Amino acid sequence: MRNATETLIKYRSMIGIIALIVVMVLATPDVRSIVIGFFVMMLGMIFRAWSSGYIDKDRELATQGPYSLTRNPLYFGNLLIGAGIAVASNNWLTALICAVYYLFFFTFLIAVERKRMKARFGTRYDEWAREANLFFPRIKRIRNANFDIALYMKNREYRVLFYSLFVIAVLVVKFLMGIGFIG
């Protein structure tokens, strides 16, 4: 089982890229889907960016800011980005591909990470887990809003912004080609 887990973790990005390429090929975007999808993606990018300014991966247990609302704010941000891509793609099959990818990998990764974090941080993790929802953010007062731009840069979160904008650009070009604006 350990080998299967390691293999899935190792290849999740490659599988995600393949799924994204299939989504882009099958997409049938229109103006409305692109605008709404872009808005949803921006919410996800903002949530991820905010989260990355609080996490020093594998060194400290992040419990402040967005981590006081959910134990998995980066994955929640990813879900919003994926939902935005699905909406912008404007195709039921692309939405299904996104949903299957996210449901499978997030369920799997959250379980693996929960086990790893519990082993690493013990009772501190248990106490925090009682305070913060597993996935969807709990609506409550945010504890400690001291965003650290150095952590954001260290975590290279700006890459998600660039990739997301690239996806939207591809969908815009695909739409413009579809209406004959770009030949």
Task: Print burial letters for 36-53: b (CB count within 10 Å at least 16), e (below 16).
Answer: ebbebbbebbebbbbbbb
For residue 6, is it within any domain?
yes
Angstrom distance (rounded) from CA 162 to CA 96: 24
Higher-confidence position of 7 and 26: 26
For residue 56, is it within any domain?
yes
Taking only the tens place, the pLDDT of each residue in 108-123 is 889 888 998 999 999 9
pLDDT reported for residue 29: 96
Phi, psi angles (nearest 5°) of residue 46: -65, -45
Prediction pTM value: 0.88
For residue 59, is it within any domain?
yes
For residue 183, is it within any domain?
no
Reported confidence tier of residue 178, pLDDT bands at 50, 70, 90: confident
Coil/strand/helix, residue 8: helix
Specify the number of domains making up the chain.
Answer: 1
Task: Print burial letters for 123-150: b (CB count within 10 Å at least 16), e (below 16).
Answer: eebeebbeebeeeebeeeeeeeeebeee
Range of the domain at 174: 2-178
Taking only the tens place, the pLDDT of each residue in 31-72 is 999 999 999 999 999 999 999 998 887 788 988 889 989 999
CATH number reported for the structural domain that contains residue 51 in this entry? 1.20.120
